[in-house]
Structure 1
Amino acid sequence: MTKYVMDALGVDQPRADHLRKQYWAQYGTTLAGLMREHNVDPAPYLIDVHDISFAELEPDPLLAAHILALPGRRIVYTNGTAPYAENVLNARGLSGLFDAVYGVEHAGYLPKPERAAFEAIFTLDGVTTETAAMFEDDPRNLQAPHEMGMKTVHVAPEAHNADHIHHHTDDLSGFLKKLR
């Protein structure tokens, strides 16, 4: 991402790294900041930053089994693109477990944590928020789903205590197993 910012804006590495972090903090994603502050076209950016190797990712059959056992629709919603998410799912052995995969492009390039982004995806999928749960590694991306009536699960090594987080886990597979 830093390299893309350097090339797109003609800035040096320290400035590009600063802007990348600033835009992520301020707008939810580096891309959102680039679009709003510099009118950057999202498509080339998303192609470039998602052109990575997935070789280090390993399949997780236990996680796959726990996801498969969940009731109701299972969807993925990412600030990346849907094709990128599909590549990650494939590398982790989780392909075919989800009813739909949505990327930032499905929300008109609005990123999480913007409520309008969630509204776009939930409307597109027909999600009934009162009977759904949102799993997320970034605690700020759980605020809008919580406000919309969803249960929220923060999945990260360190707990983040906030009123909009119902559950925290550092072991997603173990957490899902307990739901069964």
Structure 2
Amino acid sequence: MTGSTVSRAHQATFGHVTAWIFDLDNCLYPASTGLFALIDERMGAYIQRLLGVEAAEAKRIQKHHFHTHGTTLAGLMKEHGVDPHDFLEDVHAIPLDRVGANPRLAQGLGRLPGRKFVFTNGDAPYARRVLERIGIHDQFEHLHDIHAAELRPKPEPHGYELLCARMGIDPSRACMVEDMAQNLRPAKALGMTTVWVDNGSERGNHDADPGHIDCRISDVGDWLHDLLGEEA
């Protein structure tokens, strides 16, 4: 089988898809790498400096914003007037040695027919660093980051609508791949096919309603090879 066709077993679910939208963190690399834990630590340190609180209180505030607003940044902007550029530059200043090249994922993406996009609540400079580290930076037509979403993070519908409008994506022929189940609800509401990467992300199973999840997987590279069939 070649990358120009979708395996017969998946034809009914994915055969119509011409645009593939992937989340980045804990999706295109495994949550088990612990990379996002480094960002989490820097968020806590940022809040400590910002509010003059101890580490435990900073952690509580951080998780409050994450649970209430969808991202820590969204809460800090709404409740403390934080400059998003300053925050994102600071918390993303992490080493990437926990993430390595993934030739299997790169091969699968290369064989996947259609247009490919990354849609992340992070910022573009960080996302590009991660994509380059994995070895898949050249696989995507467009990177839609938090600034492109006008600082309205997933799962707010606004960013999804902007991505589709700007890139000429027909949602009914698009598939979104995400590790945060709640972020698939707006995609499904727009008419997208949805894939939940259930691999242990913090709160990844929040709002994991089968009504807005078409397919549940644990590894994107393995799923792509299952979808397309192994090359001869």
Normalising by structure 1, report the TM-score: 0.95
Instruction: Give the corresponding residue for 1:150.
Output: 192
Q: CA deviation at 1:104?
A: 0.3
Report the RMSD for the aligned CA atoms in angstroms. 1.3
Aligned twin of 1:126: 168
Superposition map of 1:25-36 within 5 A: 25-36=67-78
Change in Cα spacing, 1:22 to 1:162, as seen in structure 2 (3 Å) is farther
**Number of residue-to-residue matches in the alignment:** 180
Q: How far, CA to CA, are the matches of 1:22 and 1:104 in structure 2?
A: 20
Give aligned-pair identity as a percent.
37
Displacement after TM superposition at 1:11 (Å): 1.9
Aligned-partner residue type, residue 122 of structure 1 = C
Where does 1:18-167 land on structure 2 (aligned, <5 Å)?
A: 18-157=60-199, 160-167=208-215
Deviations 1:101-129 (A, max 9, x none): 11101111110010112112222222211
Say which structure, 1 or 2, has more relative contact order (CA 8 Å, 6+ apart).
2
Length-normalised TM-score, structure 2: 0.75
Cα distance in 2, alignment partners of residues 126 and 15 from structure 1: 44
Contact 2:179 2:199 in 1 (8 A): no
Range that drifts further, 13-22 or 135-144: 13-22
- CA shift, 1:161, in A, is 4.7
Greater mean alpha carbon deviation, residues 112-121 or residues 25-34: 112-121
The offset of 1:83, in angstroms, is: 1.3
Q: How much does 1:8 deviate?
A: 1.4
2:220 corresponding residue in structure 1? 172
